[in-house]
Chain A
């Protein structure tokens, strides 16, 4: 392959690839949230004794077990009370190991609760 041929190809790919990668770079802002110490206090209202490690284990199990069949849903896509039924329905399809269902449910309900509470607070603030 001649140098000119390589130049043609590289120019073509860059013209083509740079906008695409730039869009993906901007899109990288939206991710599945990690649990923090603040989330533990929310989780403990339902599951006393919950730790950050347990919430993170739920996140990891959710990514590992559920992304194989379909793209993951962010926790705020459903109301907190809707997640237990969804996880129960998916338990068999996802071949969840013992204990994983509870961990995944705890993570999704907690992060959804936080998201919906933040949304309600923002709405109340804007109303005033």
Chain B
């Protein structure tokens, strides 16, 4: 069993040990789209994320993992802290590179997806890590709506990444749009299964050279929830790409594989404790 598999199994066993049957979790229904729901004051949730990312214009394997604790602070306001662990390699014979960072996020719910015409929330996140003096700032606008068993979501995200080098600082701007739809099947009073799809566009802008390119992803997702636990699994291949003229001249592949992967997947799980 590879070291990555062992890590995933260990997390899975640890996660199962924490399942509480006391209260329902703030369940998620999408792997890439955030929803407007926030935890009730005092409620706590542990979330585990694994995001495998494979294949660029050259050899590339990566797994981004996250361990997150969410806390409901007040009506419509929640915060969370998470540890990010990234493993990757760009050469099949090279050693796996490991980096880590810590993030803090805040989400404020403004409108409810059932009670109001549309669900609305605003989100802010700051991430810092020792690798290359990393600092990331992210803001998100979250829209969602529930129509009976059908859930719809749309997010607009802007992110600014700062890398502080010894003599200079470089920046990378990401503009991301996501949308998704999930249809829920109620299997019992507290059990539900959802199937749906999500689409994403991710655009990168470098501080010194400007627009680099855009990758478009789409794929299915499956969600499952019982009282106290939920999980989401999604697979998204890149189906289209766009590049700046300079990037297109150097990398003629129709997909944007210089800064983005050909395949991405994500497994999320949440446990109320």
- B27: which A residues are within 8 A, CB to CB? 70
In the complex, the answer to whether B145 meets A72 with C-beta atoms within 8 Å is: no
- Return 17 A-B CB contacts under 8 Å, by A number: A9-B205, A9-B211, A12-B201, A16-B179, A16-B201, A17-B156, A21-B143, A24-B152, A28-B118, A31-B114, A32-B112, A67-B114, A68-B40, A72-B114, A74-B114, A93-B22, A93-B23
- CB of A8 within 8 A of CB of B214, answer yes
Check B199 for interface membership: any CB of A closer than 8 A: yes
User: B242 contacts the other chain (Cβ, under 8 Å)?
Assistant: yes
Interface size class of chain A, counting residues whose CB lies under 8 Å from the partner chain: 35 or more
Q: Is the CB of A71 within 8 A of B113?
A: yes
Query: Which of these, B43, B75, B143, B205, contacts A69 with CB under 8 Å?
Result: B43
**Which B residue sits closest to A13, measured CB to CB?**
B177
Among B72, B156, B201, contact of A68 (Cβ-Cβ < 8 Å): B72
Docked pose: A59 CA to B117 CA in angstroms: 15
Residue of B nearest to A94 (CB): B40
* Known interface pairs A12-B214, A12-B242, A24-B143; A5-B156 also in contact (CB < 8 Å): no
Interfacial chain A residues near B242, Cβ < 8 Å:
8, 12
In contact, A13 and B23 (Cβ under 8 angstroms): no
**A interface residues with partner B (beta carbon < 8 Å):** 1-2, 4-6, 8-9, 12-13, 16-17, 20-21, 23-25, 27-32, 59, 62-65, 67-74, 77, 93-95
The residues in B between 1 and 55 inclusive whose CB is less than 8 angstroms from any CB of A are: 22-27, 37-43
Complex Cα spacing A41 to B148, Å: 27
**B75 — nearest CB in chain A belongs to which residue?**
A64
If A31-B116, A68-B39 touch, does A93 touch B201 (CB 8 Å cutoff)? no
Question: Residue on A with the closest CB to B35?
Answer: A71
A56 to chain B, nearest CB (A): 12
Given A8-B242, A23-B152, A63-B115 in contact, is the A1-B40 Cβ separation under 8 Å?
A: no
When distances are taken between beta carbons in the complex, the residues of chain A under 8 Å from B201 are: 12-13, 16
Q: List A contacts of B26 (CB < 8 A).
A: 68-70
Find the A residue at minimum CB distance from B205. A1
Contact indicator A95/B37 (Cβ below 8 Å): no
Q: A5-B210, A12-B242, A69-B23 are in contact. Are A30 and B152 (CB under 8 A)?
A: no
Interface string of B220-251 (1 = CB under 8 A from A): 00000000000000000000001010000000
Q: A5-B211, A17-B154 are in contact. List 4 more A-B contacts (CB 8 A).
A: A1-B205, A20-B154, A27-B145, A93-B22
B185, chain A: closest CB distance, angstroms:
14
Cβ–Cβ < 8 Å partners of A30 in chain B: 145, 147-148
Task: Collect the chain A residues with CB atoms within 8 Å of residue B147's CB.
Answer: 27, 30
**Complex-state Cα separation, A74 to B152, whole angstroms:** 16
Cross-chain contact A9 with B175 (CB below 8 angstroms): yes
Name the B residues within 8 Å of A8 (CB-CB). 203, 211, 214, 242
Q: Which residues of A contact B203 (CB under 8 A)?
A: 8-9, 12
Q: How far is the CA of A27 from the CA of B113 in the complex (A)?
A: 10
Q: If A2-B211, A8-B214, A31-B116 touch, does A95 touch B154 (CB 8 Å cutoff)?
A: no
Q: Is the CB of B115 within 8 A of A67?
A: yes
Q: Cβ of B264 < 8 Å from any Cβ of A?
A: no
Give the residue of A17, A28, A70, A73 whose beta carbon is less than 8 angstroms from that of B145.
A28
Please give the distance in Å from B197's CB to the nearest CB on chain A: 12
Q: Are A70 and B210 in contact (CB under 8 A)?
A: no
- Other-chain residue from A21, A32, A69 in contact with B154 (beta carbon distance below 8 A): A21
Given the contacts A9-B175, A13-B156, A21-B154, A71 and B114 also touching, CB distance less than 8 Å: yes
The answer to whether B114 touches A95, judged by C-beta atoms less than 8 angstroms apart, is no
Q: Which residues of A contact B151 (CB under 8 A)?
A: 71
